[in-house]
Amino acid sequence: NAGVTQTPKFQVLKTGQSMTLQCAQDMNHNSMYWYRQDPGMGLRLIYYSASEGTTDKGEVPNGYNVSRLNKREFSLRLESAAPSQTSVYFCASSEALLSAEAFFGQGTRLTVV
């Protein structure tokens, strides 16, 4: 019962470094998402993928890129990390975009110094 698996769980980056957050789901879901969560601001959508082969910007896409590698995997890349990207990142998946429950990973706590 893996569900949605994110790696890594914790990461510290220096300003300007790059990294990729990995996400995989084993529920054969069509839709996948990346959110960031900051204190007092709730979850904010960075990018989403309605289905394999498609990606779309969410509310806060600047500074990020994504790849829907296949139906299972959806990665988030920070090309040049900034302190403002210090946050907890959550990947999620669902059968459909709005009308189905979303399953979340355990999160990646990223600190940019």
Partner 1 sequence: SQKIEQNSEALNIQEGKTATLTCNYTNYSPAYLQWYRQDPGRGPVFLLLIRENEKEKRKERLKVTFDTTLKQSLFHITASQPADSATYLCALDTGRRALTFGSGTRLQVQP
Any bridge partners for residue 4, and if so which? 25
If binding is defined by CB under 8 A, does position 50 make contact with partner 1? yes
Q: Is 24 in the site for partner 1 (CB under 8 A)?
A: no
Tell the residue number behind the tokens 């019962």, with chain if given.
1
Q: Are 93 and 32 in contact (CB under 8 A)?
A: yes
CB 14, CB 85: distance < 8 Å: no
Cβ proximity of 32 and 47 under 8 Å = no
Q: Report the nearest approach of partner 1 to the CB of residue 58 (Å).
A: 6
- The two tokens of residue 108 are 């990646």
CB of 89 to partner 1, least distance (A): 10
Q: Does 4 bind partner 1 (CB under 8 A)?
A: yes
Q: Which stretch binds partner 1 (CB under 8 A): 16-24, 63-71, 79-87, 94-102?
A: 94-102
- Tell me which residues touch partner 1 (CB under 8 A): 4, 31, 33, 35, 40-45, 48, 50, 56, 58-59, 90, 92, 97-107
